[in-house]
C-alpha cells in the first residue's frame, strides 16, 4: 500500500490545530505577545505594578465615609431608609433577645427539645437538649458580656442575631427565588449578582456595610444576610424549575390560574428544595458570626475574636465549640424539619395529629409561664456550670506538644522554601505579564470578552493601591500596595489549592472506588462541612502560631471536604451503562477509572477545582485574623486602625481577585446543575 503523501498527512493535523484546542489559544496569544513587548518597551521590565499608578480609591471611600458621618441625620436616604432599616433590625434583634430571656433557661430548653422531638426523633431531641445545656454549663472566666463568666447571654444574643438574619433571608430570598423561576428576565438579572455574592469573601463587603450602618448588630445582620441568602434564592428557583413539565401541563390543562399553579403544585413540590436552601442559610449564617463580630455584632463571636486576637486560644476554643454545637443543633433540627414533609407522605414514622401538636405547644407554654412567673427563673444559673477553659487549654497544649516536633520544622520549611520564594517570585513578575497571561487564559476558555474583562480586572486591582505617603485624618497611613498584597494572597491560595487537589482528588477517587473508604470519610466530611470557617483557625494557630502557615493550613482543611466530595460526586455521575460497556470490553478496574470514568467526570473535576479555589480564597482572607498576610490582613488592619478607605480598597481588590480566579477556573457555566446532584 502506498504511503500517504505528506500533504494528506499534514492537512488534518493543521486543521485540527486551527479548529481544535490549540486554535483557541492562537488569537489571544497573537494579541497578548505584541502588547507585552510594547509595554516592556515603554515601561521597562520591573517587578510588580508601578507605584505611581493609582486611582485614589482609598480617598474616595474615606470621603464617602466622612460624607456619611456628616449627613447621617439630614440626608433622606441615610436617615430614613438606611437608619430606619437598621433600627428595624436592631429592634427585632432586641425583641428576640428579650423574648429568649423572658422564656427563661428552662423555657428555652423545653421549646428547643420539644421542637426537635416533633420534627425529628428522640435522638434529635436529646442532642438539642444537650446543646442548650452546654450554653450554660461550659463557661469562660470573664468571657461573657460585662465580664461575667457565663456564655448563656452571649449564646442567646447569637441565637437572636441568627433568627433575625434568617428571617430576613427568608422573606427576601424565597420571593426572589419564586420570581426568578417564573420570569426568565428576573433570573437573568439576578444570576450575575448571586454569582458575585457567592464568590465574594465576606471580608470584601464588611467595610462598605460599616460605612452605611456603622458598627453594631444591624451591620452584622446585613453582612450575614448578603453572605447567606444566595443559596436560598438558588434552591427556591431550582426547586420550582425542576417540577416536572408534564405535571405543570396537567395542572394547566385543568384550567389552573397562575397562582393556583404556584400554590397547589410548584411550591409544594419545591418545598424540600426550599428547606434545603434554608438549612444552607442557617449553616452559612453561623459560619460568619465571628466575622460579624468584627463589625460589632455581639454574641459568641466576640470571645472567639478576642481570643484569636489576644492568642488566648483556650478561651477561643470554648467559644468556638459553643458555636459549632449551635451549628450542629440548628443543622439537625432544620434538616429534620425539611424531611418531615416527605416522611408524612410515606406514612411511616411518627405523625402527630393537630390535637397532639396543640397539646405539646400548650405544655411548652405552660412550662415557660411557670418558670417565669411561678419560679421566677431567668438565665442559666451561674452555679450550674464551670469554666471549661483549662480543659480546652490542656487539650490544645497536648496537641501542640504532640505535634510540635513536626509542626515547627514543617512550618519553617513551608515558610522558607515554599511560601516565601513563591511570593517573591509572583511579586517579581511585571504586571503586564500577569495581565496578558490572565487575559489569554480567559479568552481561550470563555471567549474574548472574558479575556478582556479579566485582564482589565488585573489592571484595576493594581490601581487600587494608595499613593505613597497617603494620609488619613492627618496621620500617615500604612503603605497599602494592592498588587504585592494580592500576590501574597495568591501565593497562599496556590499552595493551599495545590495541596487540596493533591490530597482531595485521590481521596475522592478512593471514596468512589472503595465502599469502606466512603463509609469512613462520609461522616467526617459531613462534620467538617458543618464547621464554620473560623473554627479551623483555632487549632492551626495553636500548632503554627500566627502567620501565613496558619492561614494556608486553615484554608487547606477548610476546602478539602469540597474537593473530595466534588470528585466523588463527579465519578458517581458517570452513567452506569457506559461503565458496563467499558466492562464488557474487558477493562480492568483501573483502566475503567482512567480511560472511562475520570475523563467523563472531567467537567465535575473542573468544578471541584473551581469550588476549592473559591473556598481557599475565602479562608485565606479570613486568616488575616490570625496574621496571614495579603489582602485579608489589609482589611483586618484597616479595621483595627479604623482606616475605612484602605479596608474598602483592599476589599475591592479581593472582589477583583475573586472574579479573576473564579472565571479562570470555570469552564462549566452551569453551576446549578452540578451543585444539586
**Which among 86-94, 253-261, 420-428, 535-543 is the span making contact with another protein, rule CB under 8 A?**
253-261
**Least distance in angstroms from the C-beta of 185 to another protein:** 18
CB of 270 to another protein, least distance (A): 10
Pick 238 or 464: Cβ nearer another protein = 238
Residue 676 sits in the site that holds another protein (CB under 8 A): no
Measured distance CA(425)–CA(481) in Å, rounded: 16
Query: 198-237 mask for another protein (x: CB under 8 A)?
Result: ----------------------------------------
Which is closer to another protein, CB of 29 or CB of 261? 261
Q: Which one among 214, 252, 324, 361 touches another protein, defined by CB under 8 A?
A: 252
> Per CB under 8 A, which of residues 87..116 are in contact with another protein?
none
* Distance in Å, CB of 269 to another protein, minimum: 6
Residue closer to another protein (CB basis): 253 or 677: 253
End-to-end CA distance of the chain: 53
DSSP conformational letter for 366: H
Task: Name the residue nearer to another protein (CB basis): 72 or 252.
Answer: 252
Given candidates 246, 577, 580, 670, which one binds another protein under the rule CB under 8 A? 246
Q: Which three cell numbers stand for residue 16?
A: 485540527
Q: How far is the CB of 263 from another protein (least distance, A)?
A: 10
Measured from the CB atom, is 257 or 476 closer to another protein?
257
- The distance of closest approach from Cβ of residue 252 to another protein in the complex, given in angstroms and rounded to an integer, is 6
Query: CB of 482 within 8 A of CB of 464?
Result: yes
- Residues 6+ away with beta carbon under 8 Å from 31: none
- Name which of 107 and 239 has its Cβ closer to another protein: 239
Please report whether residue 21 would count as binding another protein according to CB under 8 A: no
Binding mask 495-524 for another protein (x = CB under 8 A): ------------------------------
Please select the residue that binds another protein; options are 81, 250, 358, 395, rule is CB under 8 A.
250
d(C-alpha 110, C-alpha 128), whole Å: 10
The residue with cell 501565613 is: 548
Please select the residue that binds another protein; options are 257, 310, 394, 476, rule is CB under 8 A.
257
Quote the least distance from Cβ 183 to another protein, whole Å. 17
Length of the chain: 677
- State the alpha helices, DSSP H only, in 2-76: 6-19, 26-43, 57-71, 76
Element (H, E) at 386: strand 386-387
Radius of gyration in angstroms for the set of CA atoms belonging to the chain, rounded to a whole number: 27
The secondary element (H helix, E strand) that includes residue 138 is strand 138-139
Spatial separation of the C-alpha atoms in residues 276 and 274, rounded to whole Å: 5
By the rule CB under 8 A, 260 interacts with another protein: yes
Burial 374-391 (b: 16+ CB within 10 A, else e): eeebebbeeeebebbbee
Minimum separation from the CB atom of position 362 to another protein (A): 28
Contact status: 254 vs another protein (CB under 8 A): yes
User: Beta-strand (E) ranges in 394-473?
Assistant: 471-472
Size of the site for another protein (CB under 8 A): 18
Q: Is 8 in the site for another protein (CB under 8 A)?
A: no
Q: Is 557 in the site for another protein (CB under 8 A)?
A: no
Dist. CA 389–CA 314, nearest whole Å: 5
Angle at 108 between CA 102 and CA 113, to 5 degrees: 160
CA pair distance 322, 309, nearest whole angstrom: 18
CA distance 471 to 483: 20
The nearer residue to another protein, 269 or 503, going by C-beta atoms, is 269
Retrieve residue 596's grid coordinates: 472511562
Does residue 268 touch another protein according to CB under 8 A? yes
339 sits near another protein (criterion: CB under 8 A)? no
Closest CB 388 distance from another protein, rounded Å:
46
Residue 451 near residue 28 (C-beta atoms within 8 A): yes
Chosen residue from 2, 192, 249, 515 binding another protein by CB under 8 A: 249
- HSE-CB for 629 with a 13 A CA cutoff: 18
Ranges within 455-474 binding another protein (CB under 8 A): none
Selected from 108, 265, 319, 646, the binder of another protein by CB under 8 A is 265
For another protein, the closer of residues 259 and 475 by Cβ is: 259
Which helix (H) or strand (E) segment is 505 a member of?
A: helix 482-513
User: How many CB atoms are located within 10 Å of the residue 529 CB?
Assistant: 14
Question: Among 74, 253, 473, 575, which residue interacts with another protein (rule: CB under 8 A)?
Answer: 253
CB of 448 to another protein, least distance (A): 25
- Residues 67-104, buried b or exposed e (16+ Cβ, 10 A)? ebeeeeeeeeebeeebbebbeebbebbeebbeebbebb
CA distance 343 to 291: 37
Nearer to another protein, 5 or 259 (CB): 259
The alpha carbon torsion through 385, 387, 388, 390 (nearest 10 deg) reads: -150
Q: Which residues in this chain contact another protein in the complex, by CB under 8 A?
A: 246-247, 249-257, 260, 264-265, 268-269, 345-346
Amino acid at each position: 500500500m502506498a504511503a500517504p503523501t505528506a500533504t494528506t498527512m499534514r492537512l488534518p493535523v493543521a486543521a485540527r490545530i486551527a479548529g481544535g484546542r490549540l486554535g483557541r489559544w492562537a488569537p489571544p496569544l497573537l494579541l497578548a505577545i505584541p502588547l507585552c513587548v510594547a509595554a516592556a518597551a515603554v515601561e521597562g521590565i520591573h517587578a510588580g505594578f508601578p507605584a505611581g499608578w493609582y486611582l485614589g480609591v482609598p480617598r474616595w471611600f474615606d470621603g464617602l465615609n466622612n460624607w456619611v458621618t456628616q449627613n447621617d441625620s439630614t440626608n433622606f436616604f441615610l436617615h430614613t431608609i438606611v437608619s430606619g432599616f437598621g433600627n428595624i433590625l436592631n429592634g427585632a434583634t432586641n425583641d428576640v433577645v428579650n423574648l429568649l430571656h423572658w422564656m427563661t433557661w428552662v423555657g428555652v430548653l423545653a421549646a428547643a427539645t420539644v421542637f426537635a422531638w416533633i420534627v425529628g426523633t428522640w435522638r434529635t431531641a436529646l442532642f438539642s437538649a444537650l446543646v442548650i445545656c452546654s450554653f450554660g454549663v461550659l463557661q469562660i472566666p470573664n468571657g461573657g458580656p460585662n465580664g461575667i463568666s457565663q456564655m448563656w447571654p452571649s449564646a442567646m444574643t447569637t441565637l437572636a442575631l441568627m433568627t433575625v438574619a434568617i428571617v430576613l433571608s427568608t422573606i427576601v430570598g424565597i420571593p426572589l427565588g419564586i420570581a426568578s423561576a417564573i420570569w426568565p428576565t428576573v433570573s437573568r438579572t439576578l444570576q450575575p449578582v448571586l454569582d458575585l455574592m457567592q464568590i465574594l469573601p465576606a471580608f470584601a463587603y464588611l467595610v462598605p456595610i460599616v460605612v452605611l450602618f456603622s458598627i453594631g448588630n444591624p451591620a452584622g445582620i446585613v453582612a450575614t444576610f448578603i453572605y447567606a441568602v444566595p443559596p436560598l434564592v438558588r434552591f427556591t428557583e431550582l426547586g420550582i424549575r425542576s417540577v416536572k413539565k408534564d405535571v405543570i401541563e396537567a395542572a394547566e390543562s385543568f384550567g389552573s390560574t397562575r397562582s393556583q399553579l404556584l400554590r397547589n403544585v410548584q411550591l409544594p413540590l419545591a418545598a424540600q428544595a426550599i428547606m434545603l436552601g434554608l438549612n444552607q442559610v442557617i449553616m452559612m449564617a453561623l459560619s460568619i458570626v465571628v466575622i460579624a463580630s468584627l463589625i460589632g455584632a455581639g454574641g459568641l463571636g466576640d470571645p472567639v475574636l478576642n481570643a484569636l486576637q489576644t492568642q488566648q486560644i483556650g478561651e477561643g476554643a470554648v467559644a468556638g465549640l459553643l458555636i459549632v454545637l449551635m451549628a450542629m443543633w440548628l443543622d439537625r433540627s432544620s434538616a429534620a424539619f425539611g424531611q418531615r414533609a416527605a416522611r408524612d407522605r410515606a406514612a411511616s414514622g411518627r405523625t402527630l395529629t393537630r390535637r397532639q401538636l396543640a397539646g405539646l405547644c400548650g405544655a411548652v407554654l405552660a412550662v415557660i409561664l411557670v418558670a417565669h412567673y411561678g419560679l421566677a427563673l431567668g438565665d442559666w444559673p451561674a452555679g450550674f456550670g464551670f469554666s471549661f477553659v483549662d480543659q480546652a487549654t490542656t487539650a490544645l497544649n497536648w496537641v501542640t506538644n504532640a505535634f510540635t516536633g513536626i509542626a515547627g520544622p514543617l512550618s519553617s520549611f513551608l515558610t522558607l522554601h515554599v511560601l516565601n520564594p513563591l511570593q517573591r517570585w509572583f511579586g517579581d513578575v511585571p504586571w503586564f505579564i500577569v495581565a496578558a497571561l490572565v487575559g489569554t487564559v480567559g479568552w481561550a476558555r470563555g471567549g474574548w470578552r472574558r479575556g478582556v474583562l479579566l485582564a482589565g480586572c488585573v489592571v484595576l486591582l493594581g490601581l487600587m493601591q494608595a499613593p505613597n505617603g497617603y494620609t488619613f485624618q492627618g496621620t500617615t497611613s500604612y503603605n497599602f500596595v494592592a498588587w504585592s498584597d494580592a500576590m501574597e494572597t495568591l501565593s497562599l491560595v496556590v499552595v493551599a489549592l495545590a495541596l487540596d487537589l493533591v490530597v482531595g482528588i485521590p481521596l475522592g477517587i478512593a471514596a468512589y472506588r472503595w465502599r469502606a473508604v466512603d463509609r469512613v470519610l462520609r461522616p467526617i466530611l459531613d462534620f467538617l462541612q458543618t464547621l464554620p470557617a473560623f473554627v479551623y483557625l483555632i487549632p492551626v494557630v495553636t500548632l503554627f502560631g500566627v502567620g501565613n502557615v496558619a492561614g494556608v493550613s486553615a484554608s487547606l482543611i477548610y476546602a478539602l471536604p469540597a474537593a473530595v466530595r466534588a470528585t466523588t460526586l463527579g465519578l458517581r455521575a458517570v452513567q452506569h451503562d457506559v461503565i458496563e460497556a467499558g466492562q464488557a470490553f474487558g477493562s480492568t478496574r483501573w483502566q475503567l477509572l482512567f480511560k472511562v470514568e475520570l475523563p467523563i467526570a472531567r467537567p465535575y473535576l473542573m468544578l471541584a477545582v473551581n469550588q476549592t479555589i473559591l473556598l481557599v480564597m475565602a479562608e485565606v482572607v479570613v486568616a488575616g485574623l490570625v496574621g496571614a498576610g495579603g489582602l485579608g490582613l489589609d482589611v483586618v488592619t484597616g479595621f483595627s486602625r479604623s482606616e475605612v478607605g484602605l479596608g474598602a480598597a483592599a476589599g475591592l481588590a479581593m472582589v477583583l481577585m475573586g472574579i479573576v480566579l473564579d472565571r479562570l477556573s470555570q469552564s462549566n457555566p452551569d453551576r446549578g446543575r452540578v451543585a444539586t446532584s
